[in-house]
Amino acid sequence: MADRYLSFTATAPGRFLTARLGLPQPAALSRWTAERPSLEGHLLHLTAGGPSGLDLAPVLARTGLPTATETAGTTTGSTGGSTTGSTGPAAVVLDATGVRDVDTLAEVHAALHPVVRSVAASGRVVVLGAPLDTRDHHQAAVQQALEGFVRSLGKEIGRGRTVNLVRLSDASAAESTLRFLLSPKSAYVSGQVIGVGAAEGPDGPVDWTLPLAGRTALVTGAARGIGEAVAETLARDGAHVVVLDVPQAAEDARRVAARLGGSALTLDITAADAGERIAAELPDGLDVLIHNAGITRDRRLVNMPAERWSSVLDVNLASVLRTTDALLAKGALRTGGRIVATASIAGLAGNAGQTNYGASKAGVAGLVRSLAPRALAEHGVTVNAVAPGFIETKMTAAVPLFIREAGRRMNSLAQGGLPVDVAETTAWLAHPASGSVNGQVVRVCGQSLLGA
Ligand code: NAD
C-alpha cells in the first residue's frame, strides 16, 4: 500500500500543514538508478584529531565524486572539476581515526558544526573511527563517543540525509563499504556502526560495474518480497541467481528466475536434507548464499501454541544453521564466498507478540558473530546479516493502519524502506571486494527508534 502521507508532504500545502502541526516531514529519498548511479555534488573530506595513517584520498577519488579537502577553513578541490561554490556537499567524510582524547574530540564538533547545514538533501555524512584500543582507555572512550555522536546526528539531520560510522584501520579494505555508503544505494541505512577488518582482497581486479559476473548466488524465499528484490539486484550485479522457494510458490519462483535469466529451485528450506539438495543442484558450488526465507506466526507468549513457536524457529533459524553447516561441510561455498542472513530489528529490540520471531532473528545475529571468523579462516567465506526495519512489502501492507503508520514514521527518515534497500545492502555484503566486512549485523531501518 502506497505511503500517501509521504506523497502529501512532498506537495507545498502538505509541507506547510505538516510543519505547522509539528508532524514528521519525510523527504523523498534518492535511490540508485542506472541513469543516476551516484550522488549529485561533491564530497568534502575533513579530518579531526590530526592527520591519520589512512591513505584515504585515492579511495575517495574512486567513488566518482569530485573531492574537496578542508584544512584550516579553506576548501581546495583535489579531483575533478569545480568542487566549491554556493551548493553544499553531497557527502562529507570526516576522518576521526586520529581522535585519541577529549580535546581532539572537540575537532569533530569544529569540523562538522559549520558544514552540516549545507549538506544536500539525501546527502551522506560518514565518520571514520579507529578500532577501540584496549590498552588506552582515553582513546577507547572517545572512539566509542563517536557512536553516540553519529547516532544523535542521524536523528537530527533530516532531509533524507544519513549518518554512519565506519571503524577501520586500512582505507583500501573499506573501499566497497565507502562506495556503498557514499552512493544512493544506501538510502535507508543510517545510524549504523560498521566494522571493517584487514584487507581480504579478491584474487583479481574488481569489476565495479558487474562485480558478480561469473558467480552463482542462491536466494531463499526469492519468489516475492525482499527476496525477489535481492535476486534482482544480485542479477543486476552480474550473478547467475538461483531462486529458491516452497512448492506452493513454485510458479512465482519460476517467473522471477525467467525474468532474471536465473534458475528456480523448488524446496522447503526446513527439509532435513535441504543443504544436500542445494549442493546436488549446484555441483560446481556457489559463491553467494542469501538466507532470506522467513515467516511470522505472531501471538503473545501466553497464547502461543508450541507449533507456532517451532515453525518460526525452524524456518528462520534452525534451517539457516542446518543449510549453512551442510554447505560449508561439503565445501559447496567457493573461496571468496559470501553468506548473508536476514535478521530483523524485532530481534534486536524485541516486539510484543513476537517472542518466537524475535528469538529466531536474535539467533541469526548470534550465528553470524560466532561463525564469521571461523568461516573466513577455514573456508575464505564471510558471514554477515542484514536486519531490516519497517519495509514496504505485502507483509507490512497487511498490518492494521495505525500500527503501520507508527512503524513507518518511527525512524529518523520518517518513512518505510523498500525491498530494494535491503537488496542493495545485501549486494554490498555479497560484493567480491567486501571480504574485510565480516561478522556484521547491519540494520536497514532508516535508523529505527527501536532497539540498539
Ligand atoms: P515474504 O513473506 O513476502 O516472503 C518470504 C518468502 O519466503 C516467501 O516467498 C515464502 O514462500 C518464502 N518461504 C517461507 N518459508 C519458506 C521455506 N520453509 N522454504 C523456502 N522458502 C520459504 O517476506 P518478506 O517481507 O519479503 O521478508 C523476507 C525476510 O526479511 C524474512 O526473513 C523476514 O523475516 C525479514 N524481514 C522482513 C521485514 C519487513 O518489514 N518486510 C522486516 C524485518 C525482517
Domains 21-195 and 216-444 share a fold: yes
- Using alpha carbons, select from 344, 341, 320, 321 the residue that is nearest to residue 393: 344
Domain boundaries, the chain: 21-195, 216-444
Catalytic site includes residue 188:
no
- Contact call for residues 345 and 443 (beta carbons, < 8 A): yes
Q: How far away, in angstroms, is 394 Cα from ligand 1 center?
A: 10
- Residue owning the nearest CA to atom 23 of ligand 1: 225
Alpha carbons 322 and 344: distance in angstroms, whole number? 20
Q: What is the pLDDT of residues 271-290, one digit of tens each?
A: 999 999 999 999 999 999 99
Q: Which atom of ligand 1 is nearest to the CA of 417?
A: 40
Which pLDDT score, from 0 to 100, does residue 72 have? 43
B/e letters for 65-84, b = 16+ CB within 10 Å, e = fewer, are bbbbbbeeeebeeebeeebe
Strand pairing report for 67-71 and 240-245: unpaired
Written as nine digits, the cell of 266 is 523448488
What is residue 73's predicted lDDT score, i.e. its pLDDT? 47
Burial 4-27 (b: 16+ CB within 10 A, else e): ebbeebeeeebeeebeeeeebbbb
Distance CA 332, CA 218 (A): 12
- The model's pTM is 0.95
> Which residue is catalytic, options 32, 180, 188, 357?
357
Q: How far, in Å, from the CA of 9 to the mean position of ligand 1?
A: 30
CATH number for the domain whose boundaries are 21-195: 3.40.50.720
Q: How far apart are alpha carbons 388 and 342 in whole angstroms?
A: 8
C-alpha cell read off for 84: 566549491
CB 440 within 8 A of CB 385: yes
The list of the chain residues with pLDDT below 50 reads: 72-73, 79-85
* pLDDT of amino acid 438: 98
Pocket of ligand 1 (CB under 6 A): 220-221, 223-227, 245-246, 249, 268-270, 292-295, 315, 342, 344, 388, 390-391, 393-396
Please give the pLDDT value at position 340. Answer: 99
Q: What are phi and psi of 286, to 5 degrees?
A: -140, 160
In words, the CATH class of domain 216-444 is alpha beta
Query: Which are the contacts of 212, defined by CB distance < 8 A and separation ≥ 6?
Result: 234, 237, 238, 239, 287, 288, 427, 430, 431, 432
